[in-house]
Amino acid sequence: MIVPVILSGGAGTRLWPLSRELYPKQLLPLAGSHTMLQETARRLEGLKALGAPLVVCNEAHRFMVAEQLRQIGRTPAAIILEPLGRNTAPAVAVAALQALAGGEDPLLLVLPADHVIRQPEALRAAVEAGAPLARDGRLMTFGIVPTAPETGYGYIRADRACPLSLVPGPLSTTKDQGSGSGDATAFAVAEFVEKPDLATAQRYLASGDYFWNSGMFLFKASRYLEELERLAPEMLRWSRAALDKAARDLDFTRLDAEAFAACPSDSIDYAVMEKTAAAGVIPLAAGWNDVGSWSALWEIGERDGDGNVCRGDVLTTASRNCYLHAERRLIAAVGLEDHIVVETADAVLVARRDRVQEVKEIVRRLKEQGREEALLHRRVNRPWGAYEGLVQDGRFQVKRISVHPGASLSRQLHHHRAEHWVVVRGTARVTRGAETFILSENESTYIPLGIEHRLENPGKIPLEIIEVQSGSYLGEDDIVRFEDQYGR
């Protein structure tokens, strides 16, 4: 069996303002109608003996991850919640331990949730070609056939003199020193190399021996843990402790925070792949892109006759080779060349295409200033629906709240604010103190400060209300929860 391990823990700061810390790029539809997480799960359809995925994600993203998988009909074997980031090696370790707990020793197909692959059939073929090698004990990775002397990626050098055999046998190889032609499906890894300068990248491209490091892997769960125990025993010890002490919370596996915090932080590459003698690489040409910046989205996007990629309400004149993304308002571009313009409800980014890596500096400064634009969009998703800030000024703010059919907010109270609710669509069931009543469209109610209350949607269509808050403090942390079906 092949079990996908989908790593969904990144923040995607270089794709701000669309990607935010609490709503990162893998949860956004950046390259199609589905989110990047959904596309990662969907592209595996057709693989033989495919098991349910294991998803490792940030605790703060858990409900969005679960809902997005539900929308495409994928039921994960587990959603493992990281209380803090410890890079990819510990994340895969807990996934491997979780997989072995089921009594089998499956192949793990490790996939970042934020990559674009235009030819998923090529990925599936590469996985099936590498599966026999992984079953025989190899730790396989997928090396992207380079199309340019890219300086933003690490590289893998294949040992062309050591093509790997698909004939069964532990760590078997075919030593055909005479040909070294590259006709084999896979090769032993000679070395992993860091991001090069341009001259070095050009030399790598010309040699034909180097591939971009994709961060995708295929190996047996037990084999990865064997190598991790040999090469990074402390990491394995604390990963195991974090899973052994994990709490089961609804559909989630919540890793023990203290144990996971004690775990060394490192990538699979540094912790295992660069040190093991069992590493193999499968060349892959599949239209891959790690979507690490706005310029990458321009590269993979559908361009008009002037080389512009336009999404949303965009008008251009005398503008060339730009990426223009409008969420709420019209973008009108005149005489722009090689620029990125991204508009959201609360922020606008304007940058040269060759300077987009510096967007992360803007995010750093926003965090330094304590600004919410680094963390949240104006629309904030919750397990019951979403809310969107419309107006805020001093002692009042206005929000639009949407509640899914059958969903409910927690029973709660606020110490510093009162709330007025007006139903604009659907039907609301309101609990206020000891009373419960129904509100229909164009009806309203008032929730005094300090009174326990709950909002529910008993209907079959989404409920939308306008909420007007007033009080001395309007922060989201002014919530005392008494009962919550989502375990918050």
Mean pLDDT within 461-473: 95
Closest CA to 360 of 36, 4, 17: 17
Write out the DSSP string of 241-264: HHHHTPEEETTEEE--HHHHHTSP
- Mean pLDDT across the chain, nearest whole number? 92
pLDDT for 165 equals 64
Q: Is pLDDT above 70 for 171?
A: no
E strand spans, 338-434: 339-343, 348-352, 379-382, 385-393, 396-403, 411-413, 417-425, 428-432
pLDDT for 488 equals 66
| DSSP H or E segment with residue 173 | none
Q: Is pLDDT above 70 for 102?
A: yes
pLDDT for 379 equals 85
pLDDT for 250 equals 76
Architecture of the 2-289 domain: Alpha-Beta Complex (3.90)
Mean pLDDT within 9-22: 90
Rg from Cα positions in the chain: 25
- Cross-strand pairs, 481: 412
pLDDT for 476 equals 83
**Considering the entire predicted model, what is its pTM?**
0.84
**What letter does residue 61 receive in the DSSP assignment?**
G
Mean pLDDT within 186-206: 95
Closest CA to 215 of 281, 162, 131: 281
Mean pLDDT within 414-423: 96
Query: Percent of the chain, pLDDT > 90?
Result: 84
Banded pLDDT at 177 (limits 50, 70, 90)? very low
Mean pLDDT within 90-106: 96
Q: Is pLDDT above 90 for 170?
A: no
CATH for 379-483 is 2.60.120.10
Mean pLDDT within 149-176: 71
Mean pLDDT within 156-168: 78
pLDDT for 174 equals 42
Closest CA to 282 of 212, 225, 223, 227: 212
pLDDT for 181 equals 33
Q: Which segment of 62-66, 201-205, 274-278, 423-427 scores lowest on mean pLDDT? A: 62-66
CB atoms within 10 A of CB 406: 11
* CA-to-CA separations, 273 to 56, 128, 232, 281, 479, in angstroms, rounded: 20, 20, 12, 11, 46
Task: Give the end-to-end CA distance of the chain in Å, rounded to a whole number.
Answer: 35
Would the CATH topology of 2-289 be identical to that of 379-483?
no
SS3 state of residue 77: coil
pLDDT for 377 equals 87
Domain ranges of the chain: 2-289, 294-360, 379-483
Mean pLDDT within 474-480: 88
Q: pLDDT of 310-356, one tens digit each?
A: 999 999 999 999 999 999 999 999 999 999 999 999 999 999 999 99
Separation CA 54–CA 36 (nearest Å) = 16
Q: Which segment of 62-76, 161-175, 204-218 scores lowest on mean pLDDT? A: 161-175
